[in-house]
Amino acid sequence: MSKGSFPEIPRRPGALRGAPLAVSLAGVAAAGLAGWLMWDTGGDSGDGAKHPVGAASATKAPAPSAPKPPASPSSPAPGKPSGSPSQKPSPADDGPLPDGPLKGKVVVVDPGHNIRNSQHTAEINRSVDIGTGHKECDTTGTSTDSGYAEAAFSLDVAHRLRTILRAQGAQVTFTHDGDRPYGPCVTERAEIGNKARADAAVSIHADGSAVGNRGFHVILPAAVRGGRADTGPIVGPSKELGARIAGKFVQATGSAPSNYIGDKTALDERGDLGGLNLSTVPKVFIECGNMRDPQDAALLTDGAWRQKAAQGIANGITDFLRG
């Protein structure tokens, strides 16, 4: 798919949150995403947003013990991430918020997994209540064949995203910043967004599926109700947030929607993820690509591409918040 071929979604009048979806997602899919093949696959079955592994899918990657040192930016080794393994916050990330179009808005950014999770298997494997059932506290995530961890990728993109959003005046809250021994659990990740009364929340991931499965997809909360879970109030605005992020991600990165999840729409609805089930604010997950596919891995390990990914996510959030 060429850059910019995902059709623009008309802006909404009126309130920013809780408004009905202003455009038919089916129309978006038919107009902008036709022609992409769908494959039946899987990945990590934890709340890292992956689907159960199918017979034709790759198994979950071994948990990395620590991110590998970056290759020299001038001549990165094949399959190694270019640029720093975790983008350092800019000075603006710690300073006062500038005036901008997102002034007064709160965005919660959830970097998927934690690079130290593999050192705390008992803690992350303990069961937590997600309202409609029980799942692991957290999972280790996946990695590329060369050992670039999903947790390192997600934190790097999160730092880049924070810098972009703060420059527009948004208050950005992280669920963690690589400073915890493990986790946080999926229940706490949701609670951080709820307590912040976020106007939008995004969880950043990369998939761990079979070779040949390529592209990105955005996971939306299904309508679920049970225990502490009641996504009814957020299903509509979350779909709108997800659709806008998907469209802007295509434009910024040139990446194709997933050819194996989402039925050619780049959107996938899930009711088994605690991070979505327990959210009371508009929230989505984005799987930026498949780390187990060599072509997608070449993008995910490239610092310049990760900057484009962060920009696409930021553009979608901005579009949603500005209505």
DSSP string, 258-277: PSSSSTTTTEEEES--HHHH
**269 is an active site residue:** no
DSSP string, 171-192: EEEES--S-SSS---HHHHHHH
Q: Which residue has the tokens 């060599």?
A: 294
Do 189 and 259 form a contact (C-beta atoms < 8 A)? no
- Residue 169: exposed, middle, or buried by beta-carbon count in 10 A (0-12, 13-18, 19+)? middle
Rounded Cα distance between 25 and 43, Å, is 25
Amino acid in the structure at residue 165: L
Amino acid in the structure at residue 29: A
User: What single-letter DSSP state applies at residue 227?
Assistant: T
Catalytic site residue from 136, 150, 188, 287? 287
Rounded Cα distance between 50 and 231, Å, is 20
Do 145 and 192 form a contact (C-beta atoms < 8 A)? no
Cα–Cα distance list, 183 to 13, 80, 249, 278 (Å): 39, 25, 27, 16
Catalytic residue ranges: 287
